[in-house]
């Protein structure tokens, strides 16, 4: 038994050092060297201070800002610790009530807008943290934001175009607009106090 115990303990110690120290240090060093922005959380900064991440949505509900997708995290919206879909199926009454509530909020914020509401403005994403909306969802809100900020709709639509990301590699995913980046661009154009 003593003959077996020593190799087992040496192997355990070696694997602990390799997988617990060496591997994490090497992966962290490679990440910092090759992808520093992503390795540090894809942070978005304003005046040299982090204000959010490109990867996690934030709650915006003021009329002079673009609104993102609904968050499925409760009780606090966009809480990464509670990430996960709502798991509400299309026939679930709770989902219908959630959609109805968001439709009411959108209509109340812009009563003259009679355009169809894009689906991503009334549903949450699979993670409940999606920071992006479709260009159609941004365009749907452009008149409200322009009016609230005293801008022309053309100025707001130009900002939407400037902040629209194309499909990755031209074929993967859909065009998207990062809500935080768009709202920061709005604040640079015309701050609201």
Q: pLDDT per residue over 53-109, tens digit each?
A: 999 889 898 999 999 998 877 777 888 777 776 677 888 898 888 889 989 999 999
Q: What is the pLDDT of residues 29-51, one digit of tens each?
A: 999 999 998 998 899 988 889 99
- The radius of gyration of the chain's CA atoms, rounded to the nearest angstrom, is 23
Supply 75's token pair: 């009780």
Supply 120's token pair: 């991503």
E-strand stretches of 31-74: 43-46, 49-53
Whether 133 contacts 68, CB under 8 Å: yes
pLDDT band at residue 111, thresholds of 50, 70 and 90?
very high
Whether 189 contacts 155, CB under 8 Å: yes
Cα 27 to the center of its chain, rounded Å: 25
Q: What is the pLDDT of residues 113-148, one digit of tens each?
A: 999 999 999 988 877 788 999 999 999 999 999 999
Whether 68 contacts 57, CB under 8 Å: yes
pTM over 0.95: no
Least confident of 7-11, 20-24, 70-74: 70-74
Q: Which of 108, 189, 188, 182 is nearest to 138 (CA)?
A: 182
Q: What is the three-state SS of 13-37?
A: HHHHHHHHHHHHHHHHHHHHHHCHH
Domain boundaries, the chain: 1-40, 42-189
């Amino acid at each position: 038994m003593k003959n077996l115990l020593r190799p087992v303990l040496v192997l355990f110690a070696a694997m602990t050092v390799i997988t617990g120290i060496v591997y994490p240090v090497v992966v962290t060093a490679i990440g910092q060297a090759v992808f520093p922005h992503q390795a540090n959380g894809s942070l978005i900064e304003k005046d040299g201070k982090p204000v959010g991440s490109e990867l996690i949505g934030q709650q915006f509900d003021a009329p002079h800002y673009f609104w993102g997708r609904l968050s499925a995290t409760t009780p606090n919206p966009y809480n990464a610790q509670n990430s996960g879909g709502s798991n509400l199926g299309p026939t679930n009454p709770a989902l219908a009530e959630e959609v109805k509530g968001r439709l009411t909020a959108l209509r109340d914020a812009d009563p003259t807008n009679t355009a169809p509401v894009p689906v991503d403005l009334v549903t949450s994403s699979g993670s409940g943290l999606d920071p992006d909306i479709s260009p159609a969802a941004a365009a749907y809100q452009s008149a409200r934001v322009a009016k609230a900020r005293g801008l022309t709709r053309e100025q707001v639509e130009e900002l939407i175009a400037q902040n629209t990301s194309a499909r990755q590699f031209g074929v993967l995913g859909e065009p998207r607009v990062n809500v935080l980046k768009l709202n920061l661009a709005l604040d640079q154009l015309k701050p609201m106090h």
